[in-house]
Amino acid sequence: MKSFLTLGPLLFNWDIKKIREFYFKIADEAPIECVYLGEIVCSKRAPFLEPVLQELTERLKQAGKEVIYSTSVLIESDKELENSRTRVQAWANGLVEANDMAAIHFLLGKPHCIGPYINVYNEEALLYLTEQGAIRVTLPFELPQTSIAALSQAQNRANLELQVFGRQPLAISARCAHARAYGLHKHNCQLICGQDLDGMAVLTLNQQPFLVVNGLQTLSYTYCNLIRELTELQNLGVSYFRLSPHHTHMVEVAHVFRNVLDQKYEGEEGYRRLQALLPEASFSNGFYKSEAGYVNRGKG
């Protein structure tokens, strides 16, 4: 079975110049087969991204990448619901990744993808979604190895995808803790989240970082890193492996994952190379292992 490397939607609020430079570099240099585009966290950011979506799409497709549009995770108003419908319709000639049930409703009967924010926790849910037209399902972040194995055995229509690198979304809220931390109201946030390129760290009373706030979203502080588990995941039947974009050496990260997927070197070697590329990062694999997952610099 062929293994595909994908790049999930950008979760953070970067300025347009940085976004263009990032995706142009991905197009030209990264061994990634599929790129997801779209603002999925906060509707206030979307108008700034949409003017360059077509340009990014064309550049990525010219480089041989598949491009999939990702929909919002949280819809809070009738206006946002209508915007979701409009965006799905505008992307009629390409695949759409649905991240909430409204988008799934708009896509019924059409080939589409299911994002990791949809609760696909059992075989019945997976079967239902594939019967509605889903051809690829990205499994929820928190699933352990045993659940992934069971879903892989049960699926017979959709390819399975899993995030294997990057901070993992834990929650999303109608309130914006990011704005609140800067003394601002959500409706006058001034897009302050753009000051924190990989999110704002949240500290414990002992001054230990344990979460990251990204606008409406709460993420893990540690980076999910399943490079040592890639071979096992391939054997389980997972065929798409997702990297989440961060303000770091993403092209080099992609090359490391590609080389392990292609068995040019083993997962342990890949892990060491990622440590060297991201000396400031702490990695974790606790969801996958179904145990406490804080792995500091590869120990534990």
Q: Which two tokens stand for residue 197?
A: 């390129």
**Polymer length in residues for the chain:** 300
Q: Report the pLDDT value the prediction gives residue 291, as an integer from 0 to 100.
A: 85
From residue 65, alpha-carbon distances to 5, 23, 58, 237, 289 in Å are 10, 11, 10, 22, 32
What ranges do the domains of the chain cover?
4-168+223-295
pLDDT in tens, the chain (300 residues): 799 999 999 999 999 999 999 999 999 999 999 999 999 999 889 888 989 999 999 999 999 999 999 999 998 889 889 888 888 887 867 899 999 999 999 999 899 999 999 999 999 999 999 999 999 999 999 999 999 999 998 876 789 999 999 999 999 998 898 999 899 888 889 899 999 999 999 999 999 999 999 999 999 999 999 999 999 999 999 999 999 999 999 999 999 999 999 999 999 999 999 999 999 999 999 999 988 765 554 443
Q: Which two tokens stand for residue 193?
A: 């989240």
Q: Which CATH superfamily is domain 4-168+223-295 in?
A: Aldolase class I (3.20.20.70)
- Phi, psi (deg, nearest 5) at residue 154: -85, -30
